[in-house]
Structure 1
Amino acid sequence: MSFVINPPRQAALPVVGGGEFPVHRIYCVGRNYAEHAQEMGFTGREPPFFFLKPADAVLVVPAGETGTMDYPTQTKNLHHEIELVVAIGTGGTNIAAADAPKHIWGYAVGLDMTRRDLQNEAKKQGRPWCIGKGFEQSAPIGPVHPKSATGELTRGAVTLSVNGTQRQKGDLSDLIWNINETIEILSKAWTLAPGDLIFTGTPAGVGAVVSGDVMEGAVEGLGTLRVAVR
């Protein structure tokens, strides 16, 4: 194939043990922890909804390093949302929840960074959230851990601190829609493909960060994701 311009570099994440995981699409589940849903003004087990980030929103943070995120333009209210990220290795459509683990290649720790003021304004006007969720560096992610090494993740602490003070704390067992259910519902609307990432939702305690802050997020068994805002 002969391109008329140079194609952009393939977005990819380092893999624990070697190699890289190519990123295709980034799906995010909204309000998937009850306490977070409540702090955003909602309650109960509402049907899940999804939004997307572009693949090149990924900010790669190698193991043991501190990533650096530029404070984004047009916002005065940048929020952190710590999440388990599921990496899809085998695609498909209409995947049954019972079969979902077969499609998971691995897991990572991720941050869904949000221009909350822009998102809130879009909500008021009934417009898409893209400007609030899909900007550059809005998806800092650590290395992908193969499921063959971690086993299937169904429980484990999910935490985030800013400048050493804990802000978010939850457990994967608290997900309103668990990972397998999420894959089942998601695959009814889109054909999942190898390289897709799924941000599975964030616990309560989301809040603002400013230039100079350092975020440390973790999912039990997957290590720590450390990102400084400049």
Structure 2
Amino acid sequence: MDDIRNIYCVGRNYRLHAQELGNEVPKSPMIFSKPTHALVETTGQEIVLPGNRGEVHYEAEFVIHISKPYKPGMKVEDVVDQFALGIDFTLRDVQSELKKKGHPWLLAKGFPNSAIITKFRAFPGVEACKEVDFSLIRNGQEVQRGNIQDMLFDLETIILFCSQHFGIGAGDIIYTGTPAGVGPVTDGDRLQLKWGEEILGECFIRLG
């Protein structure tokens, strides 16, 4: 993970997720970022999250790895070489207060260990990825299931938008949004990220 440069995240990219939190469905990609200190690979280990700042919510996501700068006319497959699954952890109570004040979300999204990620694997192409659901299993129960074909803004749109507004280059990764079903973690939770029926990564949560 040492080669990761920028961590971009797409907010409200699944209609049902936006609605479950009472948010307006966006008309263009809503992008925020996380510091690289937030990133941690899942290896079955215990991951410590802050337990003294209100509820910490899980948000399972499909993550893409950028291999080169984007140029107009490029296809997704030209710039994405790998994919993974991840969880964008969110301090939900903190985020709610920030929203009320019109402040940026960084305090709610950027804390250490707030971006967990599985090992990357070769990107098989957009159409192949649409044939497989990703899901999050919490203590043996499925709590989220999504498919990139249900995203409000597809991978091509997200990459183009990030390129135009922030720049995109080798080593950047993009968390592409979470489907409905988000909720709070509790101390001792076992979380597993699945690609189809295959578990790509898991961890145990400790609220410190």
Normalising to structure 1: TM-score of the pair?
0.82
Q: 2:45 and 2:156 mapped to 1: Cα distance?
A: 30
| In the alignment, structure 1 residue 141 sits paired with structure 2 residue 141 | no
Superposition pairs of residues 29-44 of structure 1, within 5 angstroms: 29-42=10-23, 44=25
| Change beyond 3 A, Cα 1:37–1:154 | same
* Matching residue's letter, 2:37: D
**Separation in 2, partners of 1:109, 1:170:** 11
2:27 to 32, 46, 50: 46
Q: Which runs of no fewer than 5 residues in structure 2 stay unpaired?
A: none
Structure 2 counterpart of 1:80, one-letter code: Y
Decide whether the 8 Å contact of 2:12 with 2:25 is kept in 1: no
Unaligned runs of 5+ in 1: 1-10, 13-21
Q: Partners in 1 of 2:176 and 2:170 — Cα distance?
A: 17
Alignment match, 2:81: 105
Alignment of 1:169-208 (within 5 A): 169-208=145-184
Structure 2 counterparts to residues 1-230 of structure 1, below 5 A: 11-12=1-2, 22-42=3-23, 44=25, 46-61=27-42, 65-72=43-50, 74-92=52-70, 95-96=72-73, 99-147=75-123, 150-152=124-126, 153-155=128-130, 156-220=132-196, 223-230=199-206
AA matched with 1:107: F
Runs of 4+ in 1 over 4 A off after TM superposition: none
- Structure 1: distance between partners of 2:110 and 2:182: 18
- 1:20-62 Cα offsets, whole Å, 9 max, x none, are xx1000000001011101112135562111000011211112x
Q: Distance in 2 between matches of 1:90 and 1:222?
A: 28
Secondary structure (helix, strand or coil) at the match of 2:49 reads: coil
CA contact (8 A) 1:60 1:67 kept: no
CA-to-aligned-CA distance 1:68-102 (integer Å, 9 cap, x gap)? 21021542200000001000000136x44x52320
Q: Is the 8 A contact 2:193 2:200 kept in 1?
A: yes
Q: Answer whether contact 1:160 1:217 (CA < 8 A) is retained.
A: yes
Give secondary structure in 1 for the equivalent of 2:153: coil
- Tell which structure's C-alpha radius of gyration is larger: 1
Once residues 52 and 161 of structure 2 are traced to their aligned partners in structure 1, the CA distance between those partners, rounded to angstroms, is: 34
Distance 2:45 2:195 in 1: 17
